[in-house]
């Protein structure tokens, strides 16, 4: 059994064949999928998908790209939607200093606000960090994010950052980029991290693993990421599947 801990099934990429995508995931041994609504227009769609499929759960929040769009209505709407039992985490939230689609000062302010909201809601957080490693750590520490815990999604920092995140009780999530030829540094970090701190994710439709790189990613491909983790750590695929599944169930507080 595998869990895709982070996908975006609500995106237009899956509008035409969502049913088939979900069926392929089941056939590939993917027991649960967590789909992430990152902006207001996607939140209800994510919930509609989850409410129609017992194997799908939801993560809701405002992505750093959309931080500048937060207004007086945003948090009240999120508070209401997050009451749905299908919502298992708050996110993805954080900082993206690579694309800078929202001003950096706004990203940082909204990141802090959303950590506070997640704690108020009693939900773990899913953190987006791209080219903002030091700032992300500083905010997580100053906002005492260990009180809610969560996941560093699509981890891209160094080993020291990973250690600091683990010390705060966060899990490190491994995407399909671990299979890329230029991922040696990332692979070495994964090799050094304990398996009980790891999750696997697709981030579908993005970051498609080898051998499908260049095509749309989907949850059934999570097995290629898990196989690569097993290869790196020199353990069985079954061991990776079992432990990463247990980890996902723990962080999302999901009981079988």
Count Cβ atoms below 10 Å from residue 23 Cβ, excluding itself.
12
Residue pair 155/173 in contact (Cβ under 8 Å)? The answer is: yes
Domain extent at residue 203: 2-251
CA 103 to chain centre: 23
Q: How far, in Å, CA of 98 to CA of 204, rounded?
A: 20
| 10-residue averages of pLDDT along the chain (256 residues) | 97 97 98 97 97 97 98 98 97 97 98 98 98 98 98 97 98 98 96 98 98 97 98 98 98 90
**What pLDDT, on the 0 to 100 scale, is given for residue 255?**
83
Q: Against a cut of 0.95, is the pTM above it?
A: yes
- 206 falls within a domain: yes
Q: Is the dihedral of CA 201, 173, 33, 116 positive or negative?
A: negative
Residue pair 179/200 in contact (Cβ under 8 Å)? The answer is: no
- 134 falls within a domain: yes
The total of structural domains in the chain comes to 1
- 256 falls within a domain: no
- 196 falls within a domain: yes
CA angle 66, 68, 74 (to 5 degrees): 75
Q: How far, in Å, CA of 176 to CA of 52, rounded?
A: 27
CATH number of the domain encompassing residue 204: 3.20.20.140
CA nearest neighbour of 39 among 61, 18, 68, 16: 61
- 147 falls within a domain: yes
For residue 141 the two structure tokens come to: 């520490």
- 70 falls within a domain: yes
């Amino acid at each position: 059994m595998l869990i895709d801990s982070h996908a975006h099934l609500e995106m237009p990429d899956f509008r035409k064949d969502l049913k088939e995508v979900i069926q392929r995931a089941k056939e590939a041994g993917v027991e649960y999928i967590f789909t992430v609504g990152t902006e207001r227009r996607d939140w209800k769609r994510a919930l509609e998908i989850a409410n129609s499929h017992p194997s799908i759960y939801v993560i809701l929040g405002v992505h750093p790209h959309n931080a500048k769009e937060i207004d007086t209505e945003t948090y009240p709407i999120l508070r209401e939607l997050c009451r749905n039992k299908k919502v298992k985490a708050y996110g993805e939230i954080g900082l993206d200093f690579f694309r800078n689609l929202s001003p950096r000062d706004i990203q940082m302010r909204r990141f802090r606000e959303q950590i506070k909201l997640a704690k108020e809601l009693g939900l773990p957080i899913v953190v987006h960090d791209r080219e903002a490693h030091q700032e992300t750590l500083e905010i997580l520490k100053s906002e005492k994010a260990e009180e809610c815990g969560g996941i560093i999604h699509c981890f891209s920092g160094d080993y020291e950052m990973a250690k600091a995140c683990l010390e705060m009780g966060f899990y490190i999530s491994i995407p399909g980029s671990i299979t890329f030829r230029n991922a040696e540094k990332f692979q070495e970090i994964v090799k050094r991290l304990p398996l009980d701190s790891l999750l696997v994710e697709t981030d579908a439709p993005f970051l498609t693993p080898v051998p499908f790189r260049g095509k749309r990613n989907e949850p059934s491909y999570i097995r290629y990421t898990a196989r690569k983790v097993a290869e790196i750590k020199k353990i069985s695929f079954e061991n990776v599947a079992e432990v990463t599944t247990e980890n996902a169930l723990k962080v999302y507080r999901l009981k079988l």
